[in-house]
Amino acid sequence: MYRPNGTPPGAVYPSMANGVPGYTMGQMAPGQGQFPRSESMFSNSSTIIQAEIIRQRYKKLQPKDALDDEKDYKTVVHTLSREGLASVFKTRFTAEGRCDTGNAGLREEQAAIYNEVYGPNRITPPQKENKWVKLLRQMFCGIFNILLWCCVIAEVLLILVFRGESVSQEVASGGRVDLNMPGEVDFDTKEVKAEQEADYVTPIILALVIIMAALLQWHAEQQAEESMEAMQKMQSVALVPGVRRNSAGQRVSVEIDPTELVPGDVIFLQAGDRIPADVRILHCTDGMEVDNSALTGESVPEPRDVKTEKAGVPPTEAKNLAYFGTTILKGNACCVVHAIGDSTFLGKIAQGIKSSRVKSTLEIQIEHFVEIIAKVAVAVGLLSLVANLLSPVKRSPPDILQNSAAALFAQVPEGLLPTVTISLMIASQQMVARNVLVRKIDAVETLGCVSVFCSDKTGTLTKGEMTVQDLVVPNKPGPGGVAAEGLLVVERKLGSFPLQQKAKLDTLALCGTLNNAAEMKIDENGEEKLTGSPTETAILQASAEVQGGAEQATKMKSSPGNAKLFEIPFNSENKWMLTIHGQRGSPNCFLVLKGAPDRVLKFCSVSKDPQGMARIEAAMQDLMSKARRVLCVARRELGGAAPPKFEGSGPNDCNFPMQDFEFVGLFGIEDPPKDGVAEAVLKAQRAGVKVVMVTGDHPDTARAIAKRINILELEPPDIEEAKEFSVITGTMLESKVPQGDNFADDEEQELVDWWTVATTHARVFARVSPIHKQVIVQAYQKYGYEGVGDICAMTGDGVNDAPALKQAEVGVAMGIRGTEVAKDAADIVLQDDNFASIVDGIEQGRLSSENLQKSIMYTLCSKVPQVAPTFAELLGVPPALTVAQILLIDIGTDIWTAIAYALQPAESMLMERVPRHPRLKKLVNWEVLVYSYGYIGQLQMFFCWLMFFTASPGTWDLWRSGMSEEVELENEALITQGMTVYYWTLMLGQIAAAISTTTKLQSVFGLCGPPYGLPNCTLNLMFVFEMALGLAVIYIEPLQNLFDTGTLSLQCVLQPISAFVGICFIEEVRKLLFRRREKRLSDAESDASSSEGHSSSEEGSDGSDSGRPLLC
């Protein structure tokens, strides 16, 4: 690896002037003039003066109107002559810019100084949060975390303030209680333990839950970051060949690390190379082409030349410039570096997208949920305080506060945080199996809520590579054959051409192989490898396919009779390429002409035949209507007209005939849709997700592709507005951009009305710029979904997509062909660049969201029976549940069952419902609260009290006798038995709630319909675990002492099973009634739609299922 003299390996120098990361070359960095000093850098004043001279000289490359803090890409380097460039950079060019001979390039000592002044050729990555700071933020910040930490602090304060023992705490808890013999207590001789010791368990467990949940989320996101870094390391960059001069001024050929390139370096690039910096082309071969799709989004190759541009031409339109991050498709070039790092075009875009990210829908949902729970918990806590004060059982102030705090804490779902985190982690791991890498785990839930999917075309919906789709040849070769017999059109089907007409295609295939700038090689593994421009490689591949494979094509091309004798390369003026083949000196030489049809056909004899031309033009129109790029091929035998030496560059100066060519055929070329994309679009549309194509390509091309992949209907809709707005161009958007960074509430009504219609009917945005893509996403977020605002996802791979990726609620970047800037801006990375994978991701996100909602429904069910005993004491009911038992249910069992919901398979027709809009239908809404608190919770409470008084003999009589402290102390064994029965019944009721909440409408056990069953093995294991833990708490002495339980008789254990059966049966009946109601409503809607003539495709056949309330 070449390094400038005196430059330590890997050194990153503090920047002094322009060209440093974050500053334009031609502007001063903050603090400029106060240069950091070191032994290796700027150790004397002469070096400082030299650096300032370099900076002032470089300002000549900036236009006069450039600001000191210019954020746009501005330069005049494309308008300077070679001599002017050499003067600015103090470098040297030789051999008319070829620099292949002579002493050229910068001096080595100059390059070392430039490296210190301009810094490394590296785009400053987005500032990443320190991983330990991130861990602390996830542990202590966030509204739900704050609520839980408040609970921990409150518990600790209660322990510290009220350390004294109350009367009830003097009851011995160290002995074993045999509940089969009520009224008798067997005391141990152990020292009496105060109940307050158990109170330490609550804050410790809560703190551990918070810390573990934060660690899990942090670990998952760190793994995603490591995967991203691994992908980046795989995309290594090769050394760049260049030329410099040594201290004696002599030529030195070098290979330079791309990060050590400096302005003024002379480098050599060839086809297939990735351009390592922004360069000015000094010399290039004719027909040189570059792929700028990473910057522009357009897949069409762009020609390059060396002509100096006129003043006023924007640098982005200059043909003598090539940009960092793009690729050379065809030809080779000698270039001079003029911008590096953040000063490149790519760097300017990257620096412009460092805005804050849109808040995820999950964050919004959690904030809403916490607000509800906080209000409920405070209300319950206050009511509990009142209940304790009014209770017949007289308690000390510490006991009253402890009980009130317990009632408050019981309403806080301590297990929600780890449940959400682990559920999303599991979902993100399942997405990895579908080639979807989730960088931020809460994006999983947001993906399930997406209502609009804005997708880039090139490389996302299409393959990003040109492919010949159609071959058109005359049915009868020779003069008059086209007019007499017409044309044969052979279309690619199922990835290959049907070769029944191979004999008629052979001439076209041979010409496509011979007249071709691409090269075909067979590597050591026997696989075909093509190099060259996308168009040339597509033609060569199709020609080889017709001829029987790469080996046969190579054999035909190397045949002595097909040897290439002369070539006129493609250029932008001729728009054709000509080759001459045969054996030198032989009269059997022939010419092959390939290029734009209008340029090639004028040399053909068929141009004099109106009927033949009409057939050819009709065929071309048909191909172009399908978004094909059409190239024409013609051939001519030279015969005795071959000169001894071929010369010329065009029809006016060549020494061989350029007329009376025979029309051979047409190639129809396109960037085809990826396999499975059309089906994925239909799947998304059935799920109520609007798929919108956003591309820089031509509107006709975009429209044709959109129809093929089902984004646009084959027949235009009857609605006039839908026709007008189905395809919107960048020109139409110019006057519709907001004045500020985003749409404001006081925008002009005309603009609001236009975007309201556009977000409703538009399906394709074509010829759009990078800023347009961001505006389109903002418009959907502001005016979509009937003014509520859509939840928007944006896919893309290029730098031009990065601002929109950052703006969208879910940014999706391509992992293979995506730029690092796009990946850094995205929440999700597609490892296989397949649009179909992200539609699968939507399904996984929607399933994750639905399972998370079911998990929360299940968790909240037990809150009513948990708090009921506190208020029952107002009526003199004996204690039925302790704080330790509540924690055992919430954290000991419920949390693991709730997490198991993440593995729950989808209920029927999950992807045939409209997405849940988080602003209209919260994750925790009134339906969830009614279901959990007002329905299942009430059933659980009913059965708990029923078992408390019937399965525990004597509890009813104890209550009727009137509760007092003396009665409570005398009947401790009986009270413990009642609490144990209540706990066991509630645990069985929670298992019933878990089974019931696995579906919303579908029958679990098959009551009058197909059974959903119990397909989640993990959840089933949790049921077994819950029952085993419950029985262990009842029968194992250490656990009895810890959780205030006692041994139950077999009858007491079996009788509460009726609660499980009763809840499941009632819920099955409810689902049956609601299914019948849904069917009646669906039939009524179908009848209404039929009478109107059609139904809205946006709502979907099953859209009503998710839109109607669960319990009404």
At CA 695, angle to CA 694 and CA 699, rounded to 5? 105
456 in active site: yes
Say how many C-beta atoms besides its own lie within 10 A of residue 910's C-beta: 17
Task: For tokens 């009511």, name the residue.
Answer: 383
The closest of 776, 202, 150, 272 to 534, measured between CA atoms, is 272
Alpha helices in 515-648 (DSSP H): 534-547, 550-557, 597-600, 610-625
Biggest CA pair distance of the chain: 128
Catalytic hit among 265, 456, 890, 1102: 456
CA distance 1054 to 955: 18
Which two tokens mark 449?
Answer: 């809520």
CA distance 106 to 338: 13
Which two tokens mark 723?
Answer: 């026709």
Contact 814, 231 (CB under 8 A): no
Which two tokens mark 496?
Answer: 């290959």
Count how many residues are written for the chain.
1112
Contact 1034, 966 (CB under 8 A): no
**C-alpha 255: how far from its chain's center?**
37
Report the run of H or E that residue 665 belongs to, with start and end: strand 662-670
Which two tokens mark 951?
Answer: 């399965």
Say how many C-beta atoms besides its own lie within 10 A of residue 879's C-beta: 20
Burial 563-573 (b: 16+ CB within 10 A, else e): bebbebbbbee
Number of H helices, E strands in the chain: 40, 26
What is the DSSP code string of 916-938? PPTTTS-SS-HHHHIIIIIIIHH
Contact 319, 305 (CB under 8 A): yes
The closest of 1001, 1002, 1019, 1020 to 1011, measured between CA atoms, is 1002
Which two tokens mark 828?
Answer: 């999700």
Task: Identify the burial level of 622 via C-beta atoms within 10 angstroms of its C-beta, where 0-12 means exposed, 13-18 middle and 19 or more buried.
Answer: middle
The closest of 356, 324, 358, 327 to 340, measured between CA atoms, is 324
- At residue 601, φ and ψ (nearest 5 deg) are -65, -25
The closest of 617, 653, 351, 365 to 472, measured between CA atoms, is 617
The closest of 318, 264, 245, 344 to 58, measured between CA atoms, is 264
What is the DSSP code string of 101-147? SSS-S-BHHHHHHHHHHH--S-PPPPPPPPHHHHHHHHHH-SHHHHH
Question: What is the DSSP-derived secondary structure letter of residue 493?
Answer: B
Contact 797, 294 (CB under 8 A): yes
Say how many C-beta atoms besides its own lie within 10 A of residue 1093's C-beta: 6
Question: Quick one: CA dihedral 167, 173, 178, 179, positive or negative?
Answer: positive
What is the DSSP code string of 990-1052? HHHHHHHTT-SSS-SS-TTS-------HHHHHHHHHHHHHHHHHHH-HHHHHHHT--B--HHH
Listed in order, strand segments (DSSP E) in 387-494 are 436-438, 452-456, 467-474, 487-491
Q: 609: Cβ–Cβ under 8 A, 6 or more apart, which residues?
A: 480, 482, 483
C-alpha R_g of the chain: 38
Active-site residue list: 456
